[in-house]
Structure 1
Amino acid sequence: MAIHVRLEYRDPELSAAALRRTAKTILEAVGWPEAELSILVVDDAAMRTLNREYRGLDRTTDVLAFPQSSPELAGPGGEVLGDVVLSAPRARVQAKRYRRSFQGELERLLVHGVLHLLGHDHKRAGERARMRAEERRLLTVLRQAHRRG
């Protein structure tokens, strides 16, 4: 398993090691323990540029996912799963809004991004319900991992 983390945004609460541990737990919980994943943390300006270039939306967003493998075809081996881009400023704003920690919001966004890499979507009600259920399950797994230390 290779998990690459690049912090292009500076914040004293950001930790590449913590993001790597979170990603490792998520990948193990979804049955992709050997997958390769890249995580990039950026500011809102960079996120807006990526969102405009790849989705045609000229605004920032909290998380973007760029799959490199097709999970349906590849199976859970050592494949390159893809890239997840997180906006640290958006995570901070949302953490305050939803009354959770900055780290907790980063974890939620990383879970969301990884699920997109695995083919989950939330465009239709049924897909949205399945994705939210899996998000809840993975966040529970992360909470349990934190308790174990």
Structure 2
Amino acid sequence: MEEESVIHIFSDGITVEARDLQYIKSVALSALDVCDIRDTEGSIVITDDDTVKALNRDYRGINETTDVLSFSNDHEGKYYGDPSSLQDRFTGEQFVLPDTITSQLGEVVISLAQIKRQSVGPVIDELGRIVAHGFLHLLGYDHEKEADKIVMQQLESRIMKRAKQIV
């Protein structure tokens, strides 16, 4: 029997329609499917600019808001701030997962306000694309180099196509 992946979605004081939540979940599951990832869990947090800005500052050293942050359990991100400011901030704590969870990918945190500002079409389409983008980061993809950017864009397109077939 094939194990199913689980996606948890939290809205931090942000109202999101039930059908939009279902679509976001289908995008995340499609990302895992397209990348051939099974039996895992991931989380999506939809929040505001202030929260994303604080996380971006604390974990990346960039004091501005952004559309999406991905906190992968398996792939370390890049810190752009002053490394000396990290002293004693992160202790390298280990978390014990229940036996029922085989793999925990991490968490994608999204600023809905930023998505609304940058969207050139329907907001839900941009939100879906950003969920796909965030999950690709959880899986270790990045867009530092042009070739990697192209790969991510191609995967995002495949994910979005798959998600629209599910909903």
TM-score computed with the length of structure 2 as normaliser? 0.74
Unaligned runs of 5+ in 1: 71-76
Displacement of 1:26 in angstroms is: 2.4
Higher relative contact order (CA closer than 8 Å, sequence separation 6+) = 2
Q: How many residues align?
A: 137
Contact between 1:9 and 1:88, CA under 8 Å: does it hold in 2?
no
Partner of 1:106: 127
Larger Rg: 2
Give yes or no for the alignment of 1:20 onto 2:25: yes
Distance, in Å, in 2 between the alignment partners of 1:141 and 1:18 is 11
More helix by share: 1
The farther-off stretch of 53-62 and 16-25 is 16-25
Displacement of 1:134 in angstroms is: 1.1
Contact between 1:69 and 1:79, CA under 8 Å: does it hold in 2?
no
Partner of 1:116: 137
Tell me the SS of whatever aligns to 1:31: coil
Among 41, 50, 66, the residue aligned to 2:55: 50
Identity of aligned residues (%): 32
Distance, in Å, in 2 between the alignment partners of 1:78 and 1:128 is 30
What is the root-mean-square deviation in Å for CA atoms of aligned residues?
A: 1.9
Superposed, 1:4-83 pairs within 5 Å as 4-13=8-17, 15-69=20-74, 78-83=102-107
TM-score computed with the length of structure 1 as normaliser? 0.82
